[in-house]
Structure 1
């Protein structure tokens, strides 16, 4: 089994882990389901922050202040994600990928469902936004271990030459989660405004409970990673992974954060921020903005599959660079389209923007997983991705603040997006040169 040259050298296990294509497909599907629930919950909150929470949970503020407060609550979840990454990374690297993943999915689903039963500001006053922030913290804490664990277990069950496609399958959870959450909001937005404010907005959150039941049923059938089983058999688990990660693989962690920035921060700039900007600044009908995210999510599914296959040929680091460069070049033209206030132009801009960002996002799992040795992988992947999330989760808030204190034009937000692109280009370039390999054996596919 490969190891990070910056860490202490463990003794090799007696026999390399064995994987099969049939098992890889099953595990990747289970990982995808959990990731889809994660993105459903997270994007649902982002949409509600732009359309609901600013009015119903921060009622005593002016419209601009309420929007800023709602996005601050949205960002709080990202701040909690690195803490969850440390805790669940420790569980995943020390005791197994499976127990960590079962815990995270339950926490995410329950926190999201409970948001659907929260009283609003007019009912309980300041307690309403406080409870909202607490549930967002629980969401963020659990998500801190969800994506990294799902990616890790999918990668470690996959034949090495096919890791790009199976890592991309996990990433399809993003557009599917977005599609379901946007679709749910699009349906309830068809209700009369009074009914929507009174109870309609709650329905998409309550849907998290039955979705959790389905996801948990599927995930309970997931077997432990063969790579971790070999680590455990050889007694090579690290007692406190995060300490060794910072001490001996700090550069790899920094590269992981940079490489993941666009996939997380760029996505929320082109969805959460753009929905808010279009609705509150340009005064475009909110249904148009939500529909734009729906169309973009459908396109993202195809781009994710395509980019995953390209990563197997050219390398995930190179694909990360391509995604960063193309998004940065297109940033100003995309927002010029949005500023026209034309529904067709807005839908086109959001769709193209998400597609370009996806060139990087689709391969983030494959790149991050190969940056870290197996004994630190769950922690490294989770912490790298979620530190990027903690930084970029506040970008909609920052971009909103910049256009609020400015002249209301979109150029400050464009510069924020370009900055993220440059960081990711650097991360992808270094990440490609630092990739590691696992010594695994693929079982004869004729048996699968």
Structure 2
């Protein structure tokens, strides 16, 4: 049984002055991430099902699909740029400014995708505009999760950091469910209606998403830890300089570990395209696989976050990565033979349950590598460079394995290799579960910042 979210810390452990309202912060992060990633993932679904025909109609079907998937990956190229810029802003001027900006930019860019002319109307200008808007989405996503993670981690009591930060990733799963669910009736439309106007509806709905998210985040208070630093004059004027001077190894470790996101992009984009366009399975049941897997993840992610607070970050993270490396073979194989029972089983177990072990842990594990002065920029830059690799995983894997029905095996091998890379990075990192919040990221000889009393943590004397 898990602890009550607002349960007091164990005997002898006092809440530090920099800790605030963890439940409220986690809820704000969850809602914002859900709304933000609704926008981001409807693009991925449309890229797999529609964009090849709408924006690249002169290409062969396989080549058109590959080009459409490449536009999905382009968004990940902009993520590191957004991480550098928004990381600096968040560590220099506050977390709230980043969170309000990211959700506004994502909403505007996504709405405009739904307004784009097609290739048949304006020629090559159509895919150029598509890529431009995708880059804007990537810039927004570059600071989104790191900002939400930093805010939640800095509000949480030390003995519950993984649990509370897991709700940021839980929110992204909710956004993915919403994005996929919106496409279920859209994908069932007649082909001519789908390609002419149907695919635009989910993008237009982002206007409502943007307004709701803006209102919610604009009402958030700045994190107590940032306000404390500002009051003490300890905010770094050049956070990136401090980051790469004192934490470059941590940035590199997060970057390599973050390639575990390849499991998500292969599952969400490549497997859907392979099933529908190559094996010629029905779109609707494949979309339901994603919905049910993400529903399972809603429960699994906070469960794994809670377990990570008890047994440590590394065992949970490594177990999830190894499980994904094995189960991806089963999932893609089941698609190749068209067995719906196995497709649902492997999809839900792999992505809904096992991959959730990594999603439930990394928000805390990555953020805990850095001190509060550079936490947002360090987490953002490290993750987004790794995510950039993951964003192109469907395109890279598809190019290596080819486009035939037997391509699944090569894609599964590529995914497994990326999972093992993640395992190596996590296994060689330090365990941070029992480090007091105010000591996270500190080097030998560093002092606890003024105004932040040391907090005892279970398992640490």
- What TM-score do the two structures reach when normalised by structure 1? 0.91
* 1:230-277 deviation line (CA, Å, top 9, x unaligned): 111122222222233223211111111222221x21111111110011
Are 2:132 and 1:106 equivalent residues in the alignment?
A: no
Match for residue 36 of structure 1? 34
- In the aligned structure 1, how far is the partner of 2:106 from the partner of 2:288? 25
Name the CA distance, whole Å, in 2 between partners of 1:181 and 1:276. 16
Which residue does 2:449 correspond to in 1? none
Q: Answer whether contact 1:257 1:427 (CA < 8 A) is retained.
A: no
> Where do residues 14-25 of structure 1 align in structure 2 (5 Å cutoff)?
17-20=17-20, 23-25=21-23
**Which residue does the alignment assign to 2:156?**
158
Could you tell me whether the CA contact under 8 Å between 2:106 and 2:137 is conserved in 1?
Answer: yes
The residue aligned with 2:189 is 191
Q: Which residue of 2 aligns with 1:287?
A: 284
Structure 2 residue aligned with 1:235, among 215, 219, 233?
A: 233
Counterpart of 1:437 in structure 2 is: 436
CA distance in 1, matches of 2:423, 2:436: 22
Partner SS for 1:358: helix
Report how many residues are paired. Answer: 426
Q: In structure 2, how many angstroms separate the alpha carbons of the residues matched to 1:204 and 1:442?
A: 48
Q: Distance in 2 between matches of 1:280 and 1:405?
A: 10
**Equivalent residue of 2:50, what SS?**
helix
Worse overlay, 138-147 or 183-192: 183-192
Q: Partners in 1 of 2:99 and 2:68 — Cα distance? A: 29
**Structure 2 unmatched runs, 5+:** 1-14, 439-451, 456-461
Q: 1:247 to 1:30 in 2, by over 3 A?
A: same
Matched, 1:345 2:375: no
Is the 1:399–1:416 contact (alpha carbons within 8 Å) kept by the matching residues of 2? yes
Structure 1 Cα separation of the partners of residues 280 and 405 of structure 2: 15
Separation of aligned partners in 2, 1:211 and 1:134 = 21
- Counterpart for residue 272 of structure 2: 275
2:135 and 2:275 mapped to 1: Cα distance? 27
Matched, 1:425 2:423: yes
Distance in 2 between the 1:154 and 1:284 partners? Answer: 41
Q: TM-score, normalised by structure 2?
A: 0.89
Residue in structure 2 matched with residue 300 of structure 1 by the alignment: 297
Structure 2: distance between partners of 1:442 and 1:53: 54
Query: For residues 417 and 319 of structure 1, do their structure 2 counterparts lie closer, same or farther at Cα, with a shift above 3 Å needed?
Result: same
Contact 2:365 2:432 in 1 (8 A): no
Choose from 102, 107, 122 the match for 1:124. Answer: 122
**Would the aligned equivalents of 2:111 and 2:204 in 1 still touch at CA under 8 Å?**
yes
Whether the 8 Å contact between 1:64 and 1:404 is mirrored in structure 2 is no
- RMSD of equivalent CA atoms: 1.9
**Runs of 5+ in structure 1 lacking a partner?**
1-14, 444-448
Is 1:170 the counterpart of 2:168? The answer is yes
Give the C-alpha shift of residue 441 in structure 1.
6.6
Q: Which residue of 2 aligns with 1:201?
A: 199
Partner Cα distance (1:117, 1:281) in 2 = 29
Q: How far apart are 1:442 and its partner, in Å?
A: 11
Q: Which has the higher contact order (CA 8 A, sep 6+)?
A: 1
The range that moved more, 176-185 or 408-417, is 408-417
Whole-Å separation in 2 of the counterparts to 1:132 and 1:139 = 11
Q: Which residue of the partner structure matches residue 381 of structure 1?
A: 379
Is residue 56–residue 68 contact of structure 2 (8 Å, CA) maintained in 1?
Answer: yes
- Matching residue within 303, 310, 313 for 1:313: 310
- CA shift at 1:405, angstroms? 6.2
Q: Secondary structure at the match of 2:90?
A: helix
SS in structure 2 of the partner of residue 409 of structure 1? helix
CA drift at 1:216? 1.3
CA–CA distance in structure 2, aligned partners of residues 241 and 399 of structure 1: 36
Q: Name the structure 1 match of 2:72.
A: 74
The answer on whether the counterparts of 1:323 and 1:356 sit within 8 Å (CA) in structure 2 is yes
Q: Secondary structure at the match of 1:297?
A: helix
Which stretch shifts more, 390-399 or 336-345? 336-345
For residues 294-331 of structure 1, give each alpha carbon's deviation from its aligned partner in whole angstroms, at most 9, with x where no partner exists.
11111111111211110110122221111111112323
User: How many Å apart are 1:18 and its aligned residue?
Assistant: 3.2
Distance 1:278 1:405, change over 3 A: closer
Distance in 2 (alpha carbons) for counterparts of 1:405 and 1:275: 13
